[in-house]
Structure 1
Amino acid sequence: MVGKHFHPPVRQRGFVLIVSLLLLVVLTVLGISIIGTNTLEERMTGYFLDRQVALQAAEAALRDAERDILFGGRVSGSTGFVSGCSSDGLCLPETDGSPIWADLDTNNNLGWKKGTADGPSVRFGTYSNPPSGLATIPDVAAQPRYIIEVLNIPGAGGSLRVGFGPQQSTIVYRVTAVGFGRRDSTRIVLQALYKP
């Protein structure tokens, strides 16, 4: 009979366990950073989309005001425009020449800030028929709004201040529009000049 030699078992040192745990920690950190990056990218995409919606809403309000000026019959020369602003969005510049739109954001104008019925601004589609029967802009927190300021552009040597300058002047309309995104905190303000 051949004798069997029994060797005592070799003591495990745990090296494989330590390497496995280190790899697991590295993979966990990598996974968490990838999730964080994806979340950030989704937020950025959402904000970009929200701003694009607001931009398109503001552009629609500009086009609506342009139709109001050119075809609505409500805007004729400087008739109907009052100092400051009327409730239908027709505004004369202040006598010191300061533009009305600059004060809309600071005068607790909820119509301008939140798209509600308050304030001098006009809601999209109020006075003109929007194209293709589009009565409202879809997927926005509030409908876009606009104001129309009449500017008497003086002839040569004149002044923009009311009451100064030669009698010959050209009427130009400055339209300021605000569009809202899917959140009412996302706002885009656009401005255009129209010379009928």
Structure 2
Amino acid sequence: MPHTPQAVPASPDTARHQRHTPQKRSLQRGISLFIVIVIVMLSMLLALGASRTALFTEMIVGNDADYQRAFEAAQALLQDAEIDIRGERADGSICVPNAAKGDICRRTTEDKIPLENPEVGLLLADLDSQATKCRSALCSKRTGKQDFWNNTTEANGITLTQMAANTVGARYGQYTGAAVGQNTAPINPILADTSAHNRGGWYWIEVLPYLKSPGLIVDTNKLLALNLRPDVVYRITALAYGRKRNTIVVLQQTYAQQKRKD
């Protein structure tokens, strides 16, 4: 007679295992979701950090590039001041006055580069009578605080606003005729910008009398004898603003114009 299989009742352990299996699977699915969320958040944080690093690097590169442009403009202003002292044009030729532009070669300016010793005293007397001790980019020796470009309070001395005026400082090419290009295609956009006192660049020339014989040195064989005429050394201060608001470069140099001996 055929044997009919009979259902074997599940043991208590087997039933308990079957009842708990769906819960474990549900718990595992919840942990996976949590892990995925954590990974996504970490990825977002990494992407955000990378973008901030890239932005910070771009800012550093941009600031450095703007500083380098202003530095080059300040160097050009120093060279332009040297040419002004030598009485030359930008190409090195003798400065020829321009009837249309009275400033070139200082044709119409009241203050001129001294050529002989007697002119030095007269020039310095006129400059000392000015509130800023400067006029037409020529200055007497600056006393007190030297960094006027950092001063914004008149009670503390001469300010940059006072020095950056058309009758006090000089723009690039103002007295030499050096070209800055066209408005649509300037050679240097910083030097070409004269729209405001805190734009573009300026230079100032301090006229410093040079004492040839101080009477303190006996043996002069190993000293460099400067053949100056007149007996003057110049200290040039050039300042250039960058294209960004907070970029400013200041350069100084001492210039001794030596004459060739006959």
TM range (shorter): 0.7 to 0.9
Q: Secondary structure at the match of 2:243?
A: coil
- TM-score by structure 1 length? 0.75
User: Which one scores higher on RCO, CA 8 angstroms, separation ≥ 6?
Assistant: 1
Q: Which residue of 2 aligns with 1:69?
A: 85
More helix by share: 2
Contact 1:90 1:149 in 2 (8 A): yes
What is the CA deviation profile of residues 11-67 of structure 1, one whole-angstrom value per residue up to 9, with x for unaligned ones? 322121111111101101101110110110011011101111110111111111011
Following TM superposition, by how much is the alpha carbon of 1:158 offset from its aligned partner in structure 2, in angstroms?
A: 6.6
Q: Secondary structure at the match of 1:172?
A: strand
- TM-score by structure 2 length? 0.58
Following TM superposition, by how much is the alpha carbon of 1:110 offset from its aligned partner in structure 2, in angstroms?
A: 2.0
Q: Which residue of 2 aligns with 1:90?
A: 138
Residue type matched to 1:134 in 2? V
What is the CA deviation profile of residues 135-154 of structure 1, one whole-angstrom value per residue up to 9, with x for unaligned ones? 56633362210000111122
Q: Which residue of 2 aligns with 1:180?
A: 241
Residue type matched to 1:145 in 2? W
Verify: 1:154 aligned to 2:211, yes or no.
Answer: yes
CA distance in 2, matches of 1:99, 1:69: 25
Distance 1:27 1:158, change over 3 A: farther
Which runs of at least 4 in structure 1 moved beyond 6 Å after TM superposition?
none
Verify: 1:58 aligned to 2:74, yes or no.
Answer: yes
CA RMSD between the two structures: 3.0
CA distance in 1, matches of 2:32, 2:147: 69
For structure 1, which runs of at least 5 residues remain unmatched after alignment?
A: 1-6, 160-168
More strand by share: 1
Contact 1:101 1:176 in 2 (8 A): no
Q: Which moved more, 1:148-157 or 1:99-108?
A: 99-108
Q: Percent identity?
A: 25
Contact 1:172 1:193 in 2 (8 A): yes
Distance 1:62 1:45, change over 3 A: same
Distance 1:21 1:158, change over 3 A: farther
Distance 1:137 1:182, change over 3 A: farther
Match of 2:37 among 7, 10, 21: 21
For structure 2, which runs of at least 5 residues remain unmatched after alignment?
A: 1-17, 89-104, 106-111, 152-157, 194-198, 217-229, 258-262
Verify: 1:36 aligned to 2:52, yes or no.
Answer: yes
The number of aligned residues is 175
Q: Which residue of 2 aligns with 1:110?
A: 161
Q: Which residue of 1 aligns with 2:98?
A: none
